[in-house]
């Protein structure tokens, strides 16, 4: 029996909410709150028409304003808040949870909307120099809540999507059941789906394009090694998808895994991209459309990447037209009983199957299901621990069981082809 407040009602949220409704032993009441409340109302109607037993209400909230989130928490009195809005809102929502002493869960780590803001910029430049990577996001802002969350007796579960989220659980699971020591991890994210558009992003365009157009980096011997965007390319033959080009990116779980598993000598993250996506992205970048700095256009201030977002297809609308499969997982090298060992744990997800079940494509599905699972484990008390933690810091077994139960079954291959 629990009451959940969900903030955001986009592609990922719609899956997470529908999966919470399937898990109605844990989630008995939900408030769906977002900037555009009509999306929450439409989803409430859909679930009620399907006969859900979960008691659903909706609300408008401005999650950039921590006081507004705190107002809603005080009104609704939830047991936990699931933040599936955007990374820009993480800190405002965490502040509200702290004020109201309510558990907090999200799927992506904090990054600021305005990367030109002078105070943030100065801290960012210092961090780039000290840590050696230039991504706009890092865990320092949320890890800084550790003591405050401990004192308040509340749990903050950070990054429970697929990557980060499931990929980090795969690492904890491999360590618990297959290795005495893990020495290398390659995280491979392959989307073999085709939506038929020349260019579209599978989740929030602004967040996606910021991530993909940034420098790459990987963790090696306790340090970051940074690369130019798309500098490192490999080709991999993915089970059930086939051969794809993949490129090394910076990715947030590397930071947490590097800290929490100091034995791992190298952690890399690769994502597949087709040539059309890369050509469009390069062109948009060259003409300044990926810029996050506001410009003045005919007397009105606009942010180019936000304008681009308005032109691109809404990721939530890609479901009916996307065919093909995703394959996301981790390849491990390490040692067990004194012998070298390799292992691959992955999930394959079919876009059309996801659409048939929930009306969403596989990228939203593979993120929304783990968002529900992490929230459920916190609410059930299995993953409740005052402080702020990533998914690799808990017992992986109940999470792995729920992946099988709620639509993301995984495969263990003890003889994988490695990435050079």
Binding residues for ligand NDP, per CB under 6 A? 8-13, 34-36, 39, 61-64, 84-87, 89, 107-108, 159, 161-165, 203-204, 207, 315-316, 367
d(CA 100, CA 118): 30
Q: Is the dihedral of CA 364, 185, 345, 196 positive or negative?
A: positive
Question: Smallest distance, Å, CB 207 to ligand NDP?
Answer: 4
The answer to whether the beta carbons of residues 30 and 55 sit under 8 Å apart is yes
C-beta neighbour count of 303 within 10 angstroms: 16
Minimum CB distance to ligand NDP, residue 306 (Å): 11
What's the rounded Cα separation, in Å, for the pair 94 and 104?
7
Please state the closest distance from residue 291 (CB atom) to ligand NDP, in A.
Answer: 19
The residues, ordered by sequence, that sit 6+ positions from 374 with a Cβ below 8 Å of its Cβ are 105, 157, 160, 165, 383, 391, 399
- For ligand NDP, which is the closer residue by CB, 63 or 333? 63
Least CB distance to ligand NDP at residue 30 (A): 15
CB of 336 to ligand NDP, least distance (A): 29
Q: Match 């073999």 to its residue by tokens.
A: 192
Minimum CB separation of residue 52 from ligand NDP in Å reads 20
Report, in Å, the least distance between residue 163 CB and ligand NDP.
5
Residue nearest to ligand NDP (CB): 10
Beta-sheet pairing, 233-238 with 242-248:
antiparallel
Cα 390 to Cα 312: distance, rounded to the nearest angstrom = 32
Q: Which is nearer to ligand NDP, 264 or 328 (CB)?
A: 328
- Torsion 375-31-65-295 (CA) sign: positive
* DSSP label of 194: B
CB of 58 to ligand NDP, least distance (A): 12
Q: Which is nearer to ligand NDP, 48 or 65 (CB)?
A: 65
Per DSSP, 414 falls in state S
When the beta carbons of 104 and 179 are compared against ligand NDP, the nearer one is: 104
| Nearer to ligand NDP among residue 103 and residue 163 (C-beta) | 163
Smaller CB separation from ligand NDP, 35 or 266 = 35
Distance CA 372, CA 2 (A): 13
- Nearer to ligand NDP (CB atom), residue 78 or residue 334: 78
User: DSSP letters along 106-166, please?
Assistant: ESS----S-TT-HHHHHHHHHHHHHHS---S--THHHHTTHHHHHHHT-EEEE--BTTTBH
Closer residue to ligand NDP, CB minimum distance, 34 or 52: 34
């Amino acid at each position: 029996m629990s009451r959940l407040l969900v903030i955001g009602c986009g592609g990922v949220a719609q899956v997470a909410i529908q999966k919470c409704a399937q898990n109605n032993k844990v989630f008995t009441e939900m408030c769906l709150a977002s900037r555009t409340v009509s999306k929450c109302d439409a989803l409430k109607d859909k679930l009620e028409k399907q006969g859900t037993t979960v008691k659903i209400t909706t609300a408008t909230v401005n999650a950039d304003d921590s006081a507004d989130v705190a107002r809603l928490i005080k009104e609704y009195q939830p047991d936990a808040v699931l933040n599936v809005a955007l990374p820009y809102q993480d800190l405002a929502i965490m502040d509200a949870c702290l004020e109201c002493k309510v558990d907090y869960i999200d799927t992506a780590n904090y990054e600021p909307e305005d990367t030109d803001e002078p105070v943030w910029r100065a801290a960012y430049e210092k961090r780039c120099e000290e840590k050696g990577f230039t991504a706009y996001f890092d865990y320092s802002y949320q890890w800084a809540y550790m003591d405050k969350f401990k004192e308040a007796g509340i749990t903050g579960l950070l990054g429970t999507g697929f990557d980060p989220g499931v990929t980090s659980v795969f690492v904890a699971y491999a360590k618990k059941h297959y290795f005495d020591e893990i020495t290398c991890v390659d995280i491979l994210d392959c989307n073999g789906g085709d939506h038929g558009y020349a260019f579209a992003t599978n989740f929030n365009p602004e967040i996606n394009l910021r991530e993909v157009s940034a420098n790459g980096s990987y963790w090696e011997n306790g340090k970051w090694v940074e690369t130019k965007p798309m500098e490192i390319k490999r080709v991999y033959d993915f089970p059930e998808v086939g051969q794809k080009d993949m490129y090394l990116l910076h990715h947030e779980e590397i930071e947490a895994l590097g800290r929490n598993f100091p034995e791992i000598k190298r952690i890399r993250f690769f994502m597949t991209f087709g040539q059309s996506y890369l050509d469009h992205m390069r062109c948009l970048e060259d003409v300044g459309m990926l810029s996050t700095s506001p410009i003045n256009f005919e007397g009105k201030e606009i942010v180019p990447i936000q304008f681009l977002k308005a032109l691109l297809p809404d990721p939530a609308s890609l479901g009916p037209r996307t065919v093909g499969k995703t394959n996301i997982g981790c390849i491990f090298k390490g040692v067990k009983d004194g012998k070298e060992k390799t292992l691959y744990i992955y999930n394959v997800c079919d876009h059309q199957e996801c659409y048939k079940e929930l009306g969403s494509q596989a990228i939203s599905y593979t993120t929304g299901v783990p968002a529900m699972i992490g929230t459920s484990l916190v609410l059930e008390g299995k993953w409740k621990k005052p402080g702020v933690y990533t998914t690799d810091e808990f017992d992986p077994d109940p999470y792995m069981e729920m992946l099988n139960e709620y639509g993301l079954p995984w495969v263990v291959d003890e003889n994988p082809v490695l990435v050079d």
